[in-house]
Structure 1
Amino acid sequence: MITSRDRLFYSPADRLAPLSLLFMAVLWGSTFFVLHDMLDRIDAADLLAVRFTIAAVVFGAVVHRKLLWSRTTVRQGAILGLIFGSAQLLQTYGLAHTSASISGFLTGLYVVVTPILEGVLLKARVRQRVWLAVALATVGLAALTIVPGAGTTKFGIGEALTVASALVYAIHIIYTGRVATQDKAVTLAVVQTAGVAVVCTIAALPGGIGLPQRASDWWAVLYMALLCGALTAVLQVWAQSKVSPTRAAVIMSTEPIWAATFAIMAGQEPFSMRTLLGGTAMVIAMILSSLPDRSMMREPVVVPAQTVTPPRAGYRGRRSAGSNSALTHAYRSDPDPAH
């Protein structure tokens, strides 16, 4: 059955929804450039603690009438916050030791890693297309980090932390797919954002929480908290009610391109053929790994009523890794899977 989300865009809202997702990808890509500039002056944990505290307060205030509280939802949201907060810390500390463009491309590996981990953790079959994506991602990683003619590699502590963050983001996506349902998506997102703020605040406490000292740094924090955090969360909840998960995944996989574009335009790093080739290979790998299986695009099969999974049950069953299963549910409920 073809739904309105899967047809060509007819209404203004249908046309606006994918543009909203693209706008989100641009905003998320800009965070690498903004963060990279600030990490010379502010510790990563301090910066994240302030950013996500503001985002949690504003996000909660905007959607408080849609929140559906329960012990289960709070517990699941807290776990999501713990995982996502850990990924944010790894990614941001890694960004302090690598370039914005490389950080963006390596962080995007979570799209490729997710079906692999899904296959390992959930015993799902990994599609050949996913293995091709892994090969392309490896080629892209080599192009970005190996210095030609010098016999050396740029894969240091920053790159290692960023790859580790991609692995944790993948775990976050899989767990989101296990617990997320449409009716509690917004509540989970709010609790998760608050959880990230708590995790980052705890990480910042040993050295004391340092606040931005420059007016420009405060504007940057507000930009990341309100536009790249709260606004994108609201936009995604709305946009993905009108855009298929596959199309959303492909649109959001352009985030590393914007990260590199902003860094190059700002003069943080030069444009090079290695960046172009490596980045292209990794983006193609992300798109390949986010496409659905043909079997999932066929007409649904009518089955006896007693075997139908209850609606809004979240991701529970075993599916083929790379079929966009866990990734699909994550994109439906997680307002910021990689930020």
Structure 2
Amino acid sequence: MQKTRFIRQNVFPILAAFIWGTAFVAQSVSTEFVQPFTFNAARFFIAFVFTLGLAVLFRARRKRDFGEQAKPQPHYRRELLVSGLCCGAALTLGNNLQQRGLETTTSGKAGFITALYIVIVPILGIFLKKKVGKGIWASVALAVVGLYFLCIREGFAISEGDFFMFLCSLCFSAHILMIDHFTEKVDGVELSCAQFLVAAVFSAVGMLAAEQPSWEALQACVWPILYVGIFSSGVAYTLQILAQRDSNPTVVSLLLSLEAVFAVLAGALLLGDRMSGREYFGCGLMLTAVVLAQIPWGAKKTLPAGEPEKATALPTEENGQTRIQED
């Protein structure tokens, strides 16, 4: 239905942005107790268990409603494995770099630098043979200036945390492009579950190889870990995947970029973070850049003559499974 589709494509990404923005506070608090790999191994394991329950529930409902039609195609498991490995690897790198960066930067700055993925995504699209217009290049230049005012201090020094955040934004850019590709092949909730399993395993390996985890440290920040594991990971990443399916990526990406605004507000309200006028100016330039980068200047998508809108409430075979097609 039209209302359901509107909620999925507009409300879902705003909710995801709000959860991610406020999660920077929980992640910042956790850096005082646990190291990055330990934190992410715990959060992704919790997220895996949460989304596994959702995936089992939804598959059972499809089987009840559609019977044998809901059975996955022979190639589906292979597609799910490949998509889980690729998205999980990008998620592991991005989140561990982010957690490492939060040790030495504020949650507000972290949110804005992470939001740079909105500009990086179309640039990486060049390698996928996607045209990049002049407006995108202007946005990139504006974002670089904003990043300078936000991060560069006296003597052109960039903090270690800011650098890790920029690397994190590169990883999240790759993750967004992978999601756009794989949501055409596999179910969104099951993809979310698979990527969390991969990220939990990779993070656990890093934890055992490079850190000294302890139950006492995990217990000291159990509530932030539960919040990030269930909401920031399990809920928000699943909302992102569902929102990106058959949606306008420009609108969805723009709404997701509100994460940066929520991060600054949450950091100021909950952690007492304060930023200088120079840094706020940089934030303003970066937010302007990520908004301009998503405006389809002069582009207008139209349906070919005679092509009908999507049918309502008809079962269709998609991602190897039977699904209800919405308006």
Same fold (TM over 0.5): yes
1:1-339 counterparts in 2 under 5 A?
4=2, 11=3, 14=6, 18-66=10-58, 68=72, 70-119=77-126, 121-147=127-153, 151-181=154-184, 183-206=186-209, 207-211=211-215, 213=217, 217-236=221-240, 244-292=248-296, 294-295=298-299, 297-301=300-304
SS in 2 for 1:152: coil
Query: Aligned partners of 1:80 and 1:298: how far apart in 2?
Result: 29
Deviation at 1:91, TM superposition (A): 1.5
The one-letter amino acid paired with 1:78 is: L
Q: TM-score, normalised by structure 1?
A: 0.77
CA distance in 1: counterparts of 2:45 and 2:282, whole angstroms: 35
* Cα 1:266/1:138, change in 2 over 3 Å: same
What is the SS of the residue equivalent to 2:296?
Answer: coil
TM-score (norm 2): 0.80
Are the counterparts in 2 of residues 46 and 211 from structure 1 also a CA contact under 8 Å? no
Relative distance call for 1:312 and 1:287 in structure 2 (3 A) is farther
User: Does the C-alpha gap of structure 1 residues 39 and 144 become closer, same or farther in structure 2, counting only changes over 3 Å?
Assistant: same
Q: Equivalents in 1 of 2:7, 2:173: separation in Å?
A: 30
Whole-Å separation in 2 of the counterparts to 1:214 and 1:130 = 43
Aligned residues of 2:34 and 2:213 also touching (Cα < 8 A): no
Alpha-carbon contact 1:212-1:218 (below 8 Å) kept: no
SS at match of 2:293: helix
Q: Gapped runs of 5+ residues in structure 1?
A: 5-10, 305-310, 314-339
Could you tell me how far apart the structure 1 residues matched to 2:98 and 2:89 are?
14
Q: For 2:260, give the aligned amino acid.
A: P
Rounded to whole Å, the distance in 2 between the matches of 1:88 and 1:190 is 16
- In the superposition, relative to structure 1, how do residues 293 and 198 fare at CA in structure 2: closer, same or farther (>3 Å)? farther
Give the aligned length. 294
Comparing 26-35 with 234-243, greater Cα deviation is found at 234-243
- 1:99-135 deviations in Å (ceiling 9; x for gaps): 211111111111111111211x223332111111111
2:115 touches 2:290 (CA, 8 Å); kept in 1? yes
Between the aligned partners of 1:81 and 1:20, the Cα distance in structure 2 is 21
1:66-88 superposed Cα distances (whole Å, 9 cap, x missing partner): 45551222122112101211111
Structure 2 stretches of 5 or more lacking a match?
A: 60-71, 308-316, 320-327
How far apart, CA to CA, are the structure 1 residues paired with 2:81 and 2:252?
27
Alignment correspondent of 2:62: none
By how many angstroms is 1:56 displaced?
A: 0.5
Cα distance in 2 between the residues matched to 1:212 and 1:267: 23
CA distance in 1, matches of 2:242, 2:120: 27
Letter of the 1:133 counterpart: S
- Give secondary structure in 2 for the equivalent of 1:24: helix
State the shift of 1:176 in Å.
2.9
Contact 2:179 / 2:241 at 8 angstroms: preserved in 1?
no
Give, as a single letter, the amino acid of the residue that structure 1 aligns with 2:165.
Answer: T
CA contact (8 A) 1:39 1:96 kept: yes
1:46-101 CA distance string (max 9 Å, x none):
01100110111111112224455512221221121012111111111112122211
Distance 1:165 1:70 in 2: 29
AA in 2 matched with 1:284: T
CA distance in structure 2 between the aligned counterparts of 1:72 and 1:292, rounded to whole angstroms: 31
RMSD over aligned Cα atoms: 2.9
Instruction: State the AA in 1 paired with 2:142.
Output: L
Cα distance in 2, alignment partners of residues 124 and 279 from structure 1 = 28
For 2:27, the aligned partner's letter is: L
Instruction: Kindly provide the CA deviation profile for residues 294-318 of structure 1, in whole angstroms up to 9, marking residues without a partner as x.
Output: 43x33123699xxxxxx969xxxxx
